[in-house]
Structure 1
Amino acid sequence: MIESHKDLKVWQESMILVEDVYKITATFPKEELFGLTSQLKRSSVSVPSNIAEGAGRRGKTEFMRFLYIAMGSLSELDTQLELAERLFFWKRDEEIFKRVYYIKSMLAKLIKSLDR
């Protein structure tokens, strides 16, 4: 049994992903500050935030609902990273995409374990 959302490996990995996104967006054009930069930051922060909120709720159903929201935010982030690459804001880093897919996999497994 976990004592805190901070004990969850998926939360820990998603926090690292947020750090990565903030490093990447620091190099984006300044005119994107309120555009794609802001979108990327929000979608990345949404992942560990929803994991934490879900873990703090009562019952598996509520927890799962927030895990699904985190999963959606990861898909949004994946799309935004791809778009930023297409717009030449950054050079693709496969490690970040691997982390996104790893976190998606971890979330899917956690959801499946809760859905028993």
Structure 2
Amino acid sequence: MHNFKKLKIWNESMELVSGSYKITRSFPKYETYGLMSQMNRYAVSIPSNISEGSSKSSSKHFANYLEHSLGSAFEWETQLNVAFNESYITEEKFKELEGKIKQIQKMISSFKSGL
């Protein structure tokens, strides 16, 4: 078992959660139950699956949770693209967050491979 709070992938993904909540606050009100909700739900899913997986007794089970976490990271990246395409965020913010999510995706994949 791993102490998830000490895992870099968990800490980086928690920072992404904060970033997601910050940017979605500026989305149009009509996106409250649409893109805003989806983005935040998938952002939270990334560290949630890492922490839940860390409690499992085998690396195989942990890897399954990391796979779910990675899937959520890719879904969040898609939603980030939608937010940018709809002009909800600036190009600067888009590039910053796109770099962060791609880094998290690589970290999750590498960690999973090393189990």
TM-score bracket for this pair, using the shorter chain length = over 0.9
Give the letter for the 1:100 counterpart. I
* Shift in Å, 1:108: 0.8
> What is the percent sequence identity of the aligned residues?
39
Superposed CA offset, 1:18-73 (max 9, x none):
00000000000011000000000000000000000000111101100000000000
Residue 84 of structure 1 corresponds to 83
The alignment status of 1:11 with 2:13, answered yes or no, reads no
For 1:66 and 1:99, the matched residues in 2 are separated by: 20
Residue 54 of structure 1 corresponds to 53
Residue 20 of structure 1 corresponds to 19
Residue 63 of structure 1 corresponds to 62
Give the letter for the 1:66 counterpart. Y
Give the letter for the 1:50 counterpart. N
For 2:15 and 2:60, the matched residues in 1 are separated by: 26
Calculate the TM-score normalised by the size of structure 1.
Answer: 0.94
Bigger mean CA deviation after superposition, 95-104 or 5-14: 95-104
Runs of 4+ aligned structure 1 residues displaced above 3 Å come to: none
CA RMSD of aligned residues (A): 1.1
Give the gaps of 5 or more residues in structure 2: none
For 1:98 and 1:52, the matched residues in 2 are separated by: 23
Q: Secondary structure at the match of 1:27?
A: coil
Calculate the TM-score normalised by the size of structure 2.
Answer: 0.95
* Shift in Å, 1:77: 0.3
The alignment status of 1:108 with 2:109, answered yes or no, reads yes
The alignment status of 1:95 with 2:74, answered yes or no, reads no
How many residues are paired up? 113
